[in-house]
Amino acid sequence: MGAFVAKVAATNVVTPVPMSCVAGSGVFQWNQSTRIVWTGSVIDRTIMEAAFADCALPVNLSPGAKAKKNVIRLERVDALPFPTTSDEAYRLSVTDRDICIQAVSDAGLYYGIRTLLQLADAEQGRVPATLVEDAPRFPYRGVMLDVSRHFRSKEFVKKQIDLMAAYKMNRLHLHLTDAAGWRLQIDRYPRLTELAAWRDAPVWKDWWEGTRHYCEQQDPKADGGYYTKADIKEILEHARRHCITVIPEIEMPSHSEEVLTAYPELSCTHEPYKQADFCVGNEKTFEFLENVLKEVIDLFPSQYIHIGGDEAGKASWKTCPLCQQRMKDEGLKDVNELQSYLIRRIEKFLNANGRDLLGWDEILEGGLAPNATVMSWRGVDGGLKAIRAGHHAIMTPGEFCYLDGYQDAPYSQPEAIGGYLPLEKVYGYDPIPASFTPEEASLLLGVQGNVWTEYIPTAEHLEYMLYPRAIALAEVGWSQPRNKSWESFRSRVVEKVLPDMRAKGYHPFDITKEIGNRKEALQPIEHLALGKKVTYLAPYWTNYPANGAETLTDGLRGGWNYNDRRWLGFVTDKRVDVVIDLEKETTIHSVGADFMQICGPDVWFPCKVVISASTDGEHYTTLTEIDQEVKKDDEVSFKNFGWKGETKARYVRYQSFPDPKRGGVHFVDEIVIQ
């Protein structure tokens, strides 16, 4: 890349970073006389028009012209002159006489054009001579939009397709169904859009904390919406022209309150507003799901149909006579295997109709369906497990890919569901663990950013959460790690990407005003308990193990959220109760620990903290008891619970107690003893 870095990339223009760039000599001047021609196999003009649609330079499409100079030539070829297995690869050659883009597919030509436009726009049409040979690292580079919690118009969806495609993303996953609203016209079941698409509060949080009721479409209070089949066809055609595949998600067996209110006979109790899970023992459930999926398959051409599969409570299945009978008839030992029965049966239906099943990593529970692909969101373990069992996986772990979390200091941002995911952390994600063999790596299809919209009520807010973090994931999915540079990427975002977005009417976060992480997390802390043994009289929560047993004395303070692997979780009915051994009797003057509170995801302060000291490990003296009223709020809050004074101790016991009215989780980062 050497010469190209000096002459072109230094101007911070090409995003995502191409695989290989070599500078030539001279400049191509794109002007009013420049013609765009194509040769070789049949090229789809509508895709080429879409690629050039936002070009600020003259676009003279002349497919049959024979010009030999001042020409941009598009060529569909049988193979490219560099090693690649991707049908999205391209070769872009710029000389002072002409520009040639070669690819084996229209998608490859589209991406070559998008690279050319970035080079040309940066120099007002003076394109430096260069040779770009480029191919994506992963075949799947996606974004998920949750249009259930807050419905977004077809125009909004098309607008995001434009920007995604400009940065070489190729999958749009639409979360079309959830408790908050059903968003797709299904002719066979009109109540899904007459009732289940509408609710009595426009803002999800108000609805969730209020009635959680649905409305008839004609009700004056009704808020929501859905896509007609004509809307979807319009979105799909727009996506096709931009080389993006739209993947529909129809949730099952859980997150289905809206369905089970419109059609309560599909739940275990047959009562509206009572159930979130389909009744797997009821044959009518499968009749409904298959009828819905038939219409989805007829509408969407995507090979994958996403069926959700996450967070099923399964509570009623344990007592439902139909579910229990199904388990007996099928020889299923528990409700996890009952969920697997549903997933496998739906997969057989999809496969019989020429489609493949995609689901969140909970579909692994009870055994994975034979041909299913796993979308790993609860960390990376689900994806690793699926791959090591020979299945494909797509990585979308919350720690790196949940774009609905705070992207800067929470106090400076609109309310979010929680999390802290700054741009640099997104950019630094590598979906392929170092432990993978080449065969395992080949089963990892790619990466996806998810935007759940519980706390994102407006279109402008959704774009603010998406960008520029989605662009970071675009580079994670496209570019080879050896070519990536955080400093270069940030510069490109500031100097080119954000100004372009704003000029086109998008509403991105301004990275130049970023505050950054919590100050306590920036430097390790020295204190008397550093590296000392901690005995856990009540166990920590293995779902959030941070640095394991060493977390509370490893010298690392936590950042703005518990997803940074520095906050140790404790399920509050198993309170924090630990003893730190200072190894020798020591004079101490303070003991303290920080707790966080984020009420949305059920993270709470304790209502009581007790700190005790002992010289022999058997007889403890209470240093302080701290009581406080735990109040619900909408903030991300931090509070230190500690003692100051003077005493001699070898052992320090630290206990926290949950508010019995709240439940939830305690998170602690470090017990600091001075």
Measured CA to CA, the distance from residue 168 to residue 244 in angstroms comes to: 9
Give, in order, the Cα–Cα distances in Å from 438 to each of 86, 255, 287, 484, 524. 16, 37, 42, 21, 37
Catalytic status, residue 659: no
Phi, psi angles (nearest 5°) of residue 597:
-135, 125
Rounded (5°) CA angle 620-623-628: 120
Q: Which two tokens stand for residue 293?
A: 């999926």
E strands present in 165-309: 171-175, 177-178, 181-182, 198-199, 223-224, 245-252, 304-308
Catalytic status, residue 238: no
Measured CA to CA, the distance from residue 415 to residue 392 in angstroms comes to: 35
Measured CA to CA, the distance from residue 288 to residue 286 in angstroms comes to: 5
SS3 of residue 513 by DSSP: helix
SS3 of residue 635 by DSSP: coil
Catalytic status, residue 178: yes
SS3 of residue 542 by DSSP: coil
CB 125 within 8 A of CB 114: no
Would you list the DSSP string of 381-438? Answer: HHHHHHHHTT--EEE--HHHHBTTSBSS-GGGS---SS-B--HHHHHT--SS-TT--H
Number of H helices, E strands in the chain: 19, 25
Measured CA to CA, the distance from residue 165 to residue 88 in angstroms comes to: 12
Catalytic residue among 173, 255, 392, 666: 255
Look-up of token digits 């690292």:
137
Measured CA to CA, the distance from residue 67 to residue 523 in angstroms comes to: 62
SS3 of residue 471 by DSSP: helix
Residues annotated as catalytic are 178, 255, 311
